[in-house]
Amino acid sequence: MNRLKCISNIHKVSLLLSLLIVIWLVVFSCDITGLSGKATGEIGSRATSGIPNIDRLTGVNWFGFETGNYVVHGLWARDYKSMLRQMKDLGFNCVRIPWCNEMLNKMPQSIQVNAWGTDPYTNEQGLNVELAGLSSLEVLDKIIEEAGNLGLRIILDNHSRAADGYMQETLWYTNDCSEDRWIADWLDMVERYRDCPQVVAVDINNEPHGGLLGLGMKPPASWGYDVPGYDITDWRKAAIRCAKAILAVNPDIIIVMQGVQEYDVYNYWWGSNHMGLRDHPVTDIPSDHLMLSVHEYGPEVAPQDWFQDPDFPNNLPGVWRQYFWFIYEEQIAGLYIGEMGIKESSAGDPSSIPYKWFTTFLEFAGNKVHWTYWSWNANSGDTGGILKDDWVSVNPVKYNLIKPYLAGATPTPTPTATATSSPTPTPTPTPTPTPIGIDAYSKIEAEAYSAQSGIQTESCSEGTLNVGWIENNDWIRFDAVDFGTGGVTGFQARVASATGGGDIEIRLGSTGGTLLGTCTVTGTGGWQNWVTRTCSVSNTTGTKTLYLVFKGGSEALLNINWFIFTKGITPTPTPTPTSTPTPTPTPSFSPSPSPPPTPTPTSTSVTPCSNPVSASIPFAQDGAGEFCWTFSTAPNYINSWNLAELTINGIDFTNKWAAGSNLPVKINGLYYVHYRGNFQWSHFEAK
C-alpha cells in the first residue's frame, strides 16, 4: 500500500522553519531538551511523558466506509469538501471515520459525481468530481487531504472486519479475517498516512463485546485473560500487540484502545467497561501515546438499570467513576468519548430521561475530555444526526446542547443554502429557529420544528421537506413564535392525506396547553396530493411556544408541509370525506449502522409483481431499472436508498430499513420484491 503525500506547501515551509530553528538551537545551545517547554497543541504535538498532550478534540463521527456502501454516507446529496467545510464552520475540530477491512479492496457505492450539480451548502458548482473512478481507499485519501487543508484532525476507527459486521463481531478477528490480517491491514493504513499529520489517532477496534452473564454474545471479549472454551478472547493482549506494531511504523500516532462489555460480574456499554485496568493495567504502551475510549449512550439505545435508579440522574457520576472516569481522575492515560448521542425528540424534551442523562454527562465530562458525537450522518438509527434528513440543515436542538462544550472559538455562521436541480435533488434546507422569534404571519416550514414526538421528515413533491408518518398524539413544537400585538383569526396549513386524515390541535405552552383551535384534515387522495386547509383560531399576543398536536384513529393520519397564521381570513368549509385507498406513507431515508426495529406495515390487498426471478439471501442490487424477485427465506434485514419504489408483497418499503421479522406475511410461501430505481446509485439489499 502506497504512502499518501499529505504535506502541503505550507506544511513544508513550516517543517523547513522548524528545522532551521533546531539547527540554531544546536549551534547556540548546549541543551535542547531543557528548552522543550510545553507543547503547543498543534497537529501532531505531544508530550514525551504523561497523557497525550494534544488540544482537546471535539468532533463528529461520519460513518459509511464500514457499510456496504464502502464510503461515507451523504455523498449522494453533497460534495465531500462541502461536508467537511460545514463541520469546520460549526466549530468541530475532529472527525472520527469508521472503516472496515472489507472496504480496502472495494469501489464505493452511492457517490453522486456531477460536474453540473450545485452543492446546497456552499452553492458551488460540481459535486465530487475529484472522486470519479476512485476506489474506496482513494476516496478516503481525498477526505483526509481536505481535512488537513481545513485544519480538521482525523481519527481512523476500525469498526468491523466485514461490511456492516460490527453487531455480530464480538472480537477483533473472525473466521474470514485473522488477527494477523487485522494487524497487517492496520500497518498498511498507518504507513499510508504516516506523512499526514492531521491523522492524529487510530481507534484499533470498535466495541469489543460479549459476556457470560445473561444473554451476552459469544465468544465474549475479555480483559486480562482468555475465557475458557472460547479460544483467544483476551482483548487487552491483542490490543497491546497491535499497538506496538503500529507505533513501530509511526511512533507519533496516538493509540485509541476501548475496553470490553463485561468484567467480573459487571456489565456496561460495549467496549466501555474499563474496570479490568485495576487488575490488568496497560503498561506496555507509553501513556503519552494512549487514549482509552468509551461509548456513552442513553436509554434510547438500550435500557440500563442506572436509568431507573430512584436517585437518577444524581447517581450517574458514581456509575461513570466505577467504569471509566477514574482514568481521567488518576491520569492513567488520555480519555476519549468516541461515541455519544441523543435523538432529536429527547434533545427537545427536558423532562425526558435521555435529556437528563445527556445534559448531566455533558456537564460532567464535556469540557474535560476528548469526544466525537454520534453522528454527523442524518441516517443513524440509534440517534439520528447533527444533519437533518436533507443532509444539509443542522438539527438545532442537538447542536445547541453540545455547542457550549466545543473546543476552540465560536463557529462561523452557517451559510444560507439553496437547493438546485441535480440528478438527486436535495431539498432546500430550512433555517434554524432563532431566539428573536418566528413570525407567526410568515410561512413556517413544518420541518423547522424545535422538537417533536413520533414524526419523521421526508422529501416533499413541492420542494424542501414535509413532516410525515404522523399518528395519533404525535406532536411538533416551535419555540418563540411571535404573534405580535394580536389580531390573529385564522390558521392555514398545507396538508395531504391518503387515509381519512385527522385533526391538528393548535396549542400554546404544552401538548395539553391553551387550545387556540382545531383544524380538521380529510383525505386528499395521496400523501403528496397537497391542499391548503384554513380554520378559525382564538386570538393571542406576544411570543409563545407553539404545539401542533395531531389527533385521529389508529392509522397514519396526514402529512404537513407548512403553516401560517392569518388575520381576518374566513375559514374554508371542511369537505366531505371521500373513500380513498390507504397506501403506506413514503418513509424517510434512514439506513443505519445500528437500526432499531421497524413496525410491521399492514396490508389489505396484495398483488405480487409480474415475471418474478427467484433470488437468494444475501442479495444486493444497485442501479437504474425495474425488477421483480422472489425470496423463500426471510433476511435478517432489508435496506434501500435512492429508490423510486420498493415494495415487498405489495407493502411499501421504499428507502427504508426493516428487520426481517417485520416483513409482511408470505404469499404462496414467497416474498415478492418489486424494485424501481432511477439512478446508478439506487440501492437495495437483503442480508
Q: Which residues contact 117 (CB under 8 A, 6 or more apart)?
A: 125, 126, 127, 420, 422, 423
Helix H, strand E, coil C: the string for 525-544 is: CEEEEEEEEEEECCCCCCEE
Confidence of residue 50 (pLDDT cuts 50, 70, 90): low
CB-based contacts of 116: which residues, under 8 Å, 6+ apart?
Answer: 125, 126, 422
- CB neighbour burial string for 47-78, b if at least 16 within 10 angstroms, e if fewer: eeeebbbbbbbbbbbbbbbbbbbbbbbbbbbb
Give the tens place of pLDDT for each residue, 195-233.
999 999 999 999 999 999 877 899 999 999 999 999 999
What is the C-alpha separation between 407 and 368, in angstroms, rounded?
A: 10
Is the pLDDT higher at 569 or at 474?
474
Rounded Cα distance between 269 and 200, Å, is: 25
SS3 76: coil
Q: What are the C-alpha distances in Å from 90 to residues 37, 54, 145, 396? A: 32, 21, 20, 11
- Rounded to a whole number of angstroms, the distance between the first and last alpha carbons of the chain is 31
Residue 363 designated active-site: no
Catalytic residue among 146, 262, 296, 339: 339
Q: Is 672 exposed, middle or buried (0-12, 13-18, 19+ CB in 10 A)?
A: buried
Q: Where does the pLDDT of residue 607 fall: very low under 50, low under 70, confident under 90, or very high at 90 and above?
A: low
Query: What is the distance of C-alpha 453 from the center of its chain?
Result: 19
Distance CA 430, CA 465 (A): 9
| pLDDT cut 70: percent of the chain above it | 82
Of the candidates 577, 559, 554, 580, the one whose C-alpha atom is nearest the C-alpha of residue 504 is 559
pLDDT (tens digit, 9 = 90+) per residue, 322-351?
A: 999 999 999 999 999 999 999 999 999 999
* pLDDT category of residue 462 using cuts at 50, 70 and 90: confident
User: pLDDT exceeding 90 applies to what percent of the chain?
Assistant: 62
Residue written as cell 452543492? 119
**Active-site hit among 207, 296, 505, 685:** 207
User: Quick one: cell of 43?
Assistant: 497537529
pTM above 0.75, yes or no: no
Q: What is the DSSP letter of 416?
A: P
pLDDT at residue number 108: 94
Cα–Cα distances (Å) from 404 to 96, 122, 186, 354, 591, in that order, read 20, 25, 35, 18, 30
SS (H, E, C) 542-578: CEEEEEEEEECCCCCCCEEEEEEEECCCCCCCCCCCC
How many CB atoms within 10 Å of residue 561? 24
> So what's the pLDDT on residue 680?
57
* Weakest mean pLDDT among 22-36, 236-250, 271-285, 490-504: 22-36
Check if 296 is active-site.
no
Given a cut of 80, is residue 43 above it in pLDDT? no
Kindly give, in sequence order, each residue whose CB lies less than 8 Å from that of residue 425, ignoring residues fewer than 6 positions away: 419, 459
Least confident stretch, 303-307, 484-488, 549-553, 560-564 = 484-488
* Model confidence pLDDT, tens digit, residues 543-560: 899 999 999 998 899 999
Count of CB atoms within 10 A of residue 349's CB? 18
**Confidence class of residue 378 from pLDDT cuts 50, 70 and 90?**
very high
